Amino acid sequence: MARQSMLSRKKRGPPATGKGLLIGVRIQPRALKALDHWIARQEIAPTRPEAIRQLMDFALAGSDSARPTSNATVEKAAELAARAIEKTADKSQPAEEQQTRKRS
């Protein structure tokens, strides 16, 4: 009888999130406050571990090795580059010359 009760016991704690590697991380108070602030701004507030996973996914999705660059990203980068060039362009040059340098 004791054996049956031991087999039917539920595990303690929240359900597992997967079969990933558990990594213990210490977070300083300032970073923890920023994390909690980010969580509070979410429509559906995740737990701290889930928030860290989401933020890590966001950060890795922004890296070049994580995913190929989309057309929208390329267009946005070109627009930002054009604005930066316009700010530094030599205004004494004719408009045609400025445009030529901008496209090169």
> Rounded to whole angstroms, how far apart are CA atoms 49 and 26?
12
pLDDT digits over 10-34, tens only?
778 777 777 788 888 899 999 999 9
Q: How far is CA 59 from CA 2, 63, 64, 72, in A?
A: 50, 7, 11, 18
So where are the chain's domains?
26-67, 70-104
Rounded to two decimals, the pTM is: 0.46
Give 35's pLDDT tier (boundaries 50, 70, 90): very high
